Amino acid sequence: MLENVTINDIEVNVQAADWEDAIRKSAQPLLERDKIEERYVDAMIDAVHRVGPYIVLGNHVALAHARPECGAKELSVFFTTLNPGIAFGNENFDPVTLIITLAAIDEDSHLELMGELAGILMDEKNVMRLVESKTSEEFLTLLQKMRDED
């Protein structure tokens, strides 16, 4: 699925007041494109309030997501780099500098994407290179190169 990512699926150097604002900003493009409903954004935030910062995967990366029935309309992903990074409450991996916002429409359709991302994001050097991207184009070029090398 990473081969379908375009510069329109990436925003770099976003500033956010806190982790909730960061999730809202990272989800906004998916809302505008009618890929998710507003209640999906609320569900992502509510889950962190209920369960804690489980969406922080490591290496300063958060995977913002909710259950498909919470308002996901189409399988989609959006990448947001945060500058400065934002504390999500995970002392081992804060601050978060990359949010991957995922809308999955069922239990399986996103698994290929997750596998591709895991191979890339396991290497902290890859994460740092992506986060240091100055433009969406640079981020996309790096992401594609990392995908091809993985």
d(CA 37, CA 15): 23
DSSP 116: H
Reading across the β-sheet that carries 76-86, which strands appear in turn? 10-14, 76-86, 96-103, 61-64, 56-58
Q: Is 110 among the residues known to form the active site?
A: no
Torsion angles phi and psi, residue 5, rounded to 5: -70, 135
d(CA 140, CA 144): 6
Query: So which residues are the catalytic ones?
Result: 65
